[in-house]
A = this chain, B = another copy of it.
Amino acid sequence: MFNKIALVGGTHGNETSGIQLIRNWQAFGLPSRFSTLNVSLNIANEAALEANVRFVEEDLNRQFTFDGLASSNTSKEAVLAKTLNQKFGPKGNSATDFVIDIHNTTSAMDATLILLEADEFHTQLGRYVKQHMPEANILVEDEKPYLEHGYLCTTGKKGVMIEVGGQPQGVLREDVYLLTQTMAEVILDFCVAYNQGDISTDALPPCEAFRLGENISFPLSEKGQRTAMIHHSFQDSDFAPLLPGMPMFRTFDGKDINWEGDKETYPHFINEAAYHKLDVAFATAERFTL
């Protein structure tokens, strides 16, 4: 039963579509079909919004590990995380049943629902979203237990992320905004149906989903400078199969570097701006049936 739901935008201050959705629902109200739900509308990092940056000192969406929340770190975001953990959590013993945290990406990921578990509940949610929004991608990051993630949404008993792209940082695109709104509404529709006892795994058709593999780095020189860029044929191909032998990078001296895995992978976060400093080129995934 979802007694308390928190919808969050602005965890990253330059991701405008979630911020605008929160502001619009604050101004104009939630669609009336959600009147039975107790939904709070929240902006997470006002200082980052004001500065139009992802974060002021540290990535807020990596601060919510138990160690991070217990640390004496005094960065703006580490301090903010403790405040938000009191508001939405406390993590591990949360007063909030469900935290839905809204993000956008410069990668062409379209509307992606990020789940951190693939248990019965999340299987129901993923199938429901795919059934009602067939264009959605369902991405499962369950490489470690739910509570070991540092994401803001793990302050809730359950937590998911909406991730939509491609949208440049600081820019609001109507297409991305509408996908974000649709996915948020479908998730809330699920909550209504769940509370009414209308959800059963058997009644929902199994669906395609992706399971996070690993991050792939840009090729770097000995001095740590990139020696290649994402190949033009690979750019904007998020969640399309990358087959062994297909090009993924083009070096600055004009050579192709191909995917050398022993089978296909399903890349995403291809050329995401926020991973610039980490030199992450993309993440891999396996396709499976949820």
Contacts and interface: CB of A to CB of B under 8 A. Distances in A.
Given A52-B276, A232-B178, A169 B172 contact: no
A229 B172 contact: yes
A273 B168 contact: yes
Nearest to A234: B174
A171 B52 CA distance: 17
A252 B21 CA distance: 9
Contact of A173 (B177, B230, B272, B277): B230
Interface of A: 20, 23-24, 27-28, 52, 106, 166, 168-175, 177-178, 229-232, 235, 250, 252-253, 271-273, 276-277
Contacts of A52: 276-277
A189 to B, nearest CB: 20
Q: Which of A20, A23, A172, A272 has the most chain B CB atoms closer than 10 A to its own CB?
A: A172
Contacts of A231: 174
A24 B251 CA distance: 10
A271 to B, nearest CB: 5
B168 A106 contact: yes
A174 B232 contact: yes
Interface centre among A24, A231, A235, A253, by most B CB within 10 Å? A235
Q: Shortest 3 CB-CB distances between A and B: which pairs?
A: A174-B232, A168-B168, A106-B168
A253 B276 CA distance: 35
A273 B178 contact: no
A179 B20 CA distance: 33
